[in-house]
Structure 1
């Protein structure tokens, strides 16, 4: 019988089916060098990209998506009347997981920084966009490029209003209208929606559900060019936290979107967190 040894202990090769076989009666050969070479090449590329974008360390790779999606429930205190009974979309700030991962989400669509697209692609960092049409329509193509690079484009209303101040019909127009814009421009209505400012009421969630929305993620932290803000009293990052930022640049911030990403990645990486793709957990 032919003897075989699997390629073990090499990060990134755990799922490699490559085997090393020896002829009968001959000693086993060493694992193929190409597995180690490929991993070393990947590491060098990650470190080179980190240096090119001024990061202190290369971002940590996220674990594989879970085979079974976690059960997403509305955060305590974030419910509306009849939330469970009416089967309204869950409103949450964190994904239930023990993995040291966070999720980067970016709102609105005002700043259209080409270097940001380049940076995120080179660093291979996933993120999720929540778009408002009054800003996106200035350059639908920018977000089409983003989508082509694997980013999910989600709903953030047509005009970014304070939704609880509107009637049900007006809220539905804002939410369903943006669903149609995304479908027409980008091919598919999203199932994920974030209300502007994080404000919503029962009408918001009823309208969102009627438009095909299944999840309403908010956030636990917000990152800017010059600081982080926290929802929790401990002012710390937790496994599964959703992090908010915005498509903004030097007109609104004392810096650029790459500056913001640098602040974000330096902190989460230093604390041992990887950035995962939100949609993989919903």
Structure 2
């Protein structure tokens, strides 16, 4: 699963709608670590995130966090992670009617806020599937930007080739059994390119995207 959109996404024609961002325009030597879903709660991945003080945006499904919320509060309270919106049930939002979009996006935002005490401002649309109707629904739910990705480092059936990272790239990872290895590979790739992981939201603000 991969997606390569422009710096602020495919369709900025919808005036006043939150942008779709797959790469952050920046002159700083930074990359952005994002991790999706939340089903596998690997202590080794948590150790890396905490010990290396990695700023990470966690796009979580409420159901994946509910049976062990403490795993993620440890990352947000002791580390530099923030919890963001990835919908309730991981649907392709472009296939849903307005009520369905609202239930998925607003519903997830409400559940994340209840669990973690902070309303998420960023949405990762499942599968990177987005159109202006999705952006409109996201805006109604308080979303400031829809975040896709530049490179997917997740090991699915096989480990993907390691790309050469560039400033502003958004790295996609998943909470799978291979997260620790995938995360370390992403961090090594960033270091090889002279880049450091950075917090996503401040750089979105600096770039004028939110």
Q: Structures share a fold, TM > 0.5? A: yes
- The answer (yes or no) to whether the contact 1:94–1:220 under 8 Å persists in 2 is yes
- The answer (yes or no) to whether the contact 2:73–2:116 under 8 Å persists in 1 is yes
- Pick aligned residue for 1:103 from 32, 36, 57: 32
Structure number, greater radius of gyration: 1
- Residues 140-159 of structure 1 deviation map (CA, whole Å, 9 limit, x = unaligned): 22112121123110000001
Residue 199 (str. 1) matches residue 132 (str. 2) = no
- Residues 152-171 of structure 1 deviation map (CA, whole Å, 9 limit, x = unaligned): 10000001011111111101
- Residue equivalent to 1:166: 96
- The answer (yes or no) to whether the contact 2:29–2:168 under 8 Å persists in 1 is yes
Residue 245 (str. 1) matches residue 173 (str. 2) = yes
* Structure-to-structure mapping, 1:1-282, within 5 angstroms: 74-75=8-9, 78-79=10-11, 83-84=14-15, 87-148=16-77, 149-225=79-155, 226-228=159-161, 236-249=164-177, 256-282=178-204
Measure how far apart 1:114 and its partner are: 1.6
- Residues 253-281 of structure 1 deviation map (CA, whole Å, 9 limit, x = unaligned): xxx32211221122221121111111221
Q: CA RMSD in A?
A: 1.7
Name stretches of at least 5 consecutive residues in structure 2 with no aligned partner: 1-6, 205-210
Secondary structure of residue in 2 paired with 1:151: strand
- Whole-Å separation in 2 of the counterparts to 1:192 and 1:186: 15
Flag the structure with more relative contact order, 1 or 2, with Cα contacts below 8 A and sequence separation at least 6.
2
Runs (4+) of structure 1 exceeding 6 A deviation are: none
- Residues 121-157 of structure 1 deviation map (CA, whole Å, 9 limit, x = unaligned): 1112211100112322232221121211231100000
- The answer (yes or no) to whether the contact 2:58–2:82 under 8 Å persists in 1 is yes
- Whole-Å separation in 2 of the counterparts to 1:188 and 1:125: 20
- The answer (yes or no) to whether the contact 1:99–1:239 under 8 Å persists in 2 is yes
Name stretches of at least 5 consecutive residues in structure 1 with no aligned partner: 1-72, 230-234, 250-255
- Residue equivalent to 2:207: none
| Higher deviation after alignment, 105-114 or 135-144 | 135-144
Measure how far apart 1:194 and its partner are: 0.8
Secondary structure of residue in 2 paired with 1:244: strand
Q: TM-score, normalised by structure 2?
A: 0.86
- The answer (yes or no) to whether the contact 2:165–2:189 under 8 Å persists in 1 is no
Q: 1:216 to 1:116 in 2, by over 3 A?
A: same
- Residue equivalent to 1:70: none
Secondary structure of residue in 2 paired with 1:152: strand
The size of the alignment, in residue pairs, is 194
Q: 1:186 to 1:97 in 2, by over 3 A?
A: same
- Whole-Å separation in 2 of the counterparts to 1:120 and 1:257: 11
